[in-house]
Amino acid sequence: MKEIALPDMPRLESLAAFRAALLEARRQPVRLVAANASGASAALAQLLLAAKAQWDADGAEFVVSSTSDALMLHFKILGLDIENMVEKAI
């Protein structure tokens, strides 16, 4: 499974690199590692939603791991519930 780090702060420059990494990993199972992500933005939310929809259409696994409570709160403030993307601990 390909691991891609979520940007620590979702600024345009880091989001462009994140988008490029997603495009490179297309059609492969992907785990987005959110361990260092300290914030969310509408642009990041849009990228995640579009990527999740594409990975679902491709039939490939797409999960987010190592999310903090603060990051989840940022997504909820934006109106995005990413619980269906978050990898569950076994």
- The pLDDT tens digits along the chain (90 residues) read 999 998 887 778 888 999 999 999 999 999 998 888 877 888 888 888 899 999 999 999 999 887 777 778 888 888 877 776 776 544
Q: What is the pLDDT of residue 67?
A: 78
Cα distance between the two ends of the chain: 17
Specify the pLDDT at position 90. 40
Residue 88: the pLDDT is 59
CATH code of the region 2-77: 3.30.750.24
This prediction's pTM: 0.81
Instruction: Sketch the domain layout of the chain as residue ranges.
Output: 2-77
Cβ-contact 43, 12 below 8 angstroms: yes
